[in-house]
Structure 1
Amino acid sequence: MGRADIVKILLDHGANIEARTPKGSTSLKLACELGEVDLAVSLLERKANVNLPDKDGWDPLMCAALKGHREIARVLLKYGADVNAKGPQQATSLRIASEYGHGGVVRLLLDADALIDEPCSDGKTPLYAAAKMGHNDIVQLLICRGADPNRQTCTGSTALIAAAMYNRLEPLRILIDHGADVDLENSCGWTVLSMAYFSGYPQLVQLILERRPAMMRDIGDAASEDQIEDKTDPILICRRHDLIISS
């Protein structure tokens, strides 16, 4: 006898399908966390609330997204799960799956019309999360599905700047090749180039300049180093690294 059979017997004898643990988890949420497809189906067939969150705001679909349980997520969506519901820090299931590298779940959620650029409370989008964590395939997928590479967070950061901060070479390449703006600054005035340089990643600096040589077009006429007040200025960075690219 499987778990689904036991659950059926318990429900037939009056068990409360929406009973909660001390942390507010329902049987359905626990089944989704564990990847128990048959158990989840059994509960949903008995009208378990597909969108009921726990005390921390995690609903069943978010749990499936976190754990990478694609089949569970598919079942939940079939039974009416809200693909754009928001949980802790206003994160959606797509944002969660993107951060934790579950490409199959990301694709499934996008096919179910998940909002691709929906940010959490700090303004970070699914693309930002994927770029930060170095999930190359998810960055590529989100970009190909229309994610905005220039969307800025509450502090002005972008997916491109996040990739530079965490030394994510391939996401950086993908983002630049798909039109990410290398000149955007965060609230501290840092661009992707200054972030890559001061984070100590010369490979990223080289890639940025190779992909965007036009940013150095007027470098020959620029002021000398001692006249450049902004130490994050691209000209100063390139001179220090001897990476000046003439256009």
Structure 2
Amino acid sequence: MSFKKETPLANAVFWAARKGNLALLQLLLNSGRVDVDCKDGYGTTALMVASYSAHYECVRELIMQGADINLQRETGSTALFFASQQGHNDIVKLLFEFGASTEFRTEDGGTALSAACQCAHSRVVETLLKHGASVHDQLNDGATALFLASQEGHVTVIRQLLSSGAKVNQPREDGTAPLWMAAQRGHSEVVKVLLLRGADRDADRKDGSTALFKAAHKGHCNVIEELLKFSPSLGLLKNGSTALHAAVMSGNPKTVKLLLKANADPALPNKVSLRHADYNILYTYY
């Protein structure tokens, strides 16, 4: 966390909060010469700094001195957001004891829950959900907490969110669903969990590509195997191409071989043109 220093006393308060120097923090606050909610040029408060830095006693002292728990930084972040982002579950619980809210959002639409899910802090996720955090909140681009966890491959968090009612097929605004993103990133265990919980294997993005097509293009064989277990169909895209096209055109013989073993039809539709080298890859393994 970076912040602009304002006054010498505010500077000292921020330093004490960041370093966890409780004695100095108490001395400064008890002097009556510095506001407990003093801010830097970005709107950062000492409570945010202490929460980010995992200094429990400093957080408690600031709260007892009257710090406003729900103040927002210039970016919209709160003390709860920072504690959740960093995985400090004891501080998250403490903030909730004194009235922290899960409703505040950052400028990109992020919440404490989305931050914890993206960073795989499952204990924090559990605490946030118990205190009313919504699994349905979305970033400005439409990404849900489930989407973010799927993107990063955080299986435990994904199971928590699905058990709390997260919509497995909720896409971003560009049509990208959690399954598509997990397949694109090569997270085979995530793909398996999402499929078992009802993810639509053949849902396509606005560009027409499916999870299977993208996995084939990226050469993620473990992901392809999971997708084919769920359905042996290669799924014809709107432009007439299939996952086999993607594998061939990306020049990945291992992926081509896998798809052919799955009884993929090597008679590729004429709508998609392939280079001579691509045909060589295909028929080497057919």
Please give the range of the TM-score, normalised by the shorter of the 2 chains. 0.7 to 0.9
2:31 maps to none
Which of 200, 204, 222 matches 1:148? Answer: 200
Structure 1 pair 155–231 and aligned structure 2 pair: CA distance change class (3 A): same
Structure number with greater Rg is 2
Instruction: Report the Cα offset of residue 181 of structure 1.
Output: 3.6
Which of 56, 60, 69 matches 1:17? Answer: 69
User: Which runs of 5 or more residues in structure 1 are unaligned?
Assistant: none
- Separation in 2 of the partners of 1:241 and 1:69? 47
Within a 5 Å distance, the mapping from 1:201-216 to structure 2 comes to: 201-213=252-264, 215=265
Q: Are 1:71 and 2:123 matched, yes or no?
A: yes
* Secondary structure, counterpart of 2:141 in structure 1: helix
Which of 163, 168, 176 matches 2:228? Answer: 176
Instruction: Report the Cα offset of residue 190 of structure 1.
Output: 3.1
2:177 maps to 125
Which of 191, 198, 208 matches 2:242? Answer: 191
Name which structure has the greater RCO, CA cutoff 8 Å, separation 6+. Answer: 1
- Separation in 2 of the partners of 1:145 and 1:121? 22
- Separation in 1 of the partners of 2:284 and 2:115? 49
- Separation in 2 of the partners of 1:62 and 1:45? 21
1:97 maps to 149
User: Which runs of 5 or more residues in structure 2 are unaligned?
Assistant: 1-21, 23-53
Alpha-carbon RMSD: 2.4
- Separation in 1 of the partners of 2:183 and 2:98? 40
1:241 maps to 283
- Separation in 1 of the partners of 2:232 and 2:96? 43
The normalised TM-score by structure 1 is: 0.86
Name the % identity.
31
1:3 maps to 55
Structure 1 pair 10–212 and aligned structure 2 pair: CA distance change class (3 A): same
Q: Are 1:40 and 2:92 matched, yes or no?
A: yes
- Separation in 2 of the partners of 1:113 and 1:241? 46
1:37 alignment partner AA: N
Instruction: Report the Cα offset of residue 45 of structure 1.
Output: 1.8
1:29 maps to 81
- Separation in 2 of the partners of 1:174 and 1:32? 32
